Structure 1
Amino acid sequence: VQKNHPTTGILTNGAKMLRDVSVGFEQTDSLTLYLRQPDFSTAAALSEAINRKYLGLATALDAATVKVRIPRQYRDTATVPQFIRTIEQIQFIPDAPAKIVFNERTGTIVIGANVRISAVAISHGNISINIKNIEAISQPLPFSRTGETARVQDQKTTVKEEKVPLFRVPSTTTVADLVRVMNALGITPRDMMIIFHALRESGALHAELESM
């Protein structure tokens, strides 16, 4: 018997690059920055940070794209890479999405700081199945001329469900509060995954679930 057996897979050599992507600025006066994780707030924060250093050069086109005009002095002196270096060194605070990432193979869970849950009651019970072999002696009835004394095995199966209290979680609970509740329930990481899925189905979990 194996509990919470994960079914996962890895695609090896799923994609191959057939041709290098050329990067040149001879025929353009702008560069485009693509966010690996599209987010409107992050794109807006990046363009605002660039505009604080270079007034009016950056524009957030959508959740994943920020267009930056290359100043003429860099294009005329063929020093565009130096301009890109200054852009790369600009610091800003990206928006942190409400996300829970878990790895079913290792049981690892990473919970973002912006994860919130609505008011909800959580109950988690573990069901254990215990199969026990009991040895006994079988004897014939008194004054019986048939039958003989023999050693037999009897199999006893019991199903036990542990009683776990119902925990009430207040609304707009932070991730720290949620972890405290989970620890109070004595829940393992694999069981946490099941609870998070149940919270999402109930509409109480305001976060994205992502499986690695």
Structure 2
Amino acid sequence: MTRHDLDVLASDRERSDAEERLRAAVGSGRLPLADLAGRLDEVHASRTRGALEQACRGLPRPGPRDSLVVDRPADSRGLVVGVFGGFVRKGPWVVPPRMTVWSMWGGGKIDLTEARFSEQDTEIRAVALWGGTRIVVPEDIEVEVRGLGLFGVFDRRAARRIGRPGTPRVVIKGLALFGAVVTRGKG
């Protein structure tokens, strides 16, 4: 925020957002419960945006889906295999920093749209041998695709660069041999 923005009078909506930010910080363990009442008093007494920022001092700014990089260990092993069968990983989960996905005579889907990341940079190594893997990515992360399709397809259409500091980056690389690794946006 610029100096001018800090002097602008705060709206009821901004106060409500600050309250939610404090409650989320208590829920995630960033702010002790004993500090919540005092900080909420500061929010209710705030007249300006600067005073609201002071009440939320030391807390990360929320993004479009809150914090995408979390201080929790990964929920999933770093290896997912679908041989003569399939796999699905979706919903809320914490992605490991390095993950290998094998599809052989089968297929699977990795859905990152509700996921959080254990590190800023995540590498997914996808191998499809006579099989297929679909990776669904949200719009608010950077995606780099560096795979090779040999008698197969390694789709690069969902690759994008956002250029905002703090945006998680997922690098998808690997091999599709007589198979496919398809990366798509949600929808």
What TM bracket, shorter-length normalisation? under 0.3
TM-score, scaled to structure 1? 0.26
RCO higher in structure (CA 8 A, sep ≥6): 1
TM-score, scaled to structure 2? 0.28
Pair member with larger Rg: 1
**Structure (1/2) with the larger strand percentage:** 2
